[in-house]
Structures are given as C-alpha cells and as structure tokens.
Amino acid sequence: MPLTDRVLVVLRDADDPRSPAENASTQMAVYFPDGCPDTRPPGLPPTEDYHPHADTVCPTCLADWTVGHLVSNPAMVPDGTLTAVRFTWPAEDF
C-alpha cells in the first residue's frame, strides 16, 4: 500500500505558541487518514522508527500533535516520496 499522505510538523515556540520555535524542529511525517496502524505499515522502510501516533499522524492523534506543534494540512505526494525528513531551521530569521 503506497503511503501517499504527508504532513509537515513544526515545533511551537513555548512563549508564543502561534509561532515556530527559535530553532524550529521540523519533520515531514506520514499521515494516515484512516488512523495510524498498530504495527509497521507496509511501505515504511525498516530503518525508520515506527511508533503509532508518535512518528506518524492521523485524525485521532492530530489534537495531541497540535498541542506542541504546528501541523500542516495533509498533502498527497507521489509514490516513492521519502516517508520522513527531519531538520531544524532558524525561525528567528523569518
């Protein structure tokens, strides 16, 4: 089953939760419209950690994610797109 949905998850600033944190820890995560599966979904590389609702996002855990993170709307991506990318960027420059 291709994993075709992704969200961008950005750490919120603790003092100004509407903004990204100063060194905005950011990740692209797999989004499951029907819920994060309990076990590693086919298509996720074995090198990639899998903890449902912790490494991936679904409608059930979205509220928990948004407490500490800004979460984009889900976007569809082509089959073969990386399942996870993590990086930081200096939000103070924007």
Kindly list the residues in this chain that would bind Zn ion in the complex (CB under 5 A). 36, 53, 58, 61
Which CB, 40 or 53, lies closer to Zn ion? 53
Least Cβ distance, residue 25 to Zn ion (angstroms):
19
From CA 29, how far away is CA 54, in angstroms rounded? 10
Least Cβ distance, residue 89 to Zn ion (angstroms):
25
Least Cβ distance, residue 52 to Zn ion (angstroms):
6
Which CB, 61 or 84, lies closer to Zn ion? 61
Which CB, 37 or 91, lies closer to Zn ion? 37
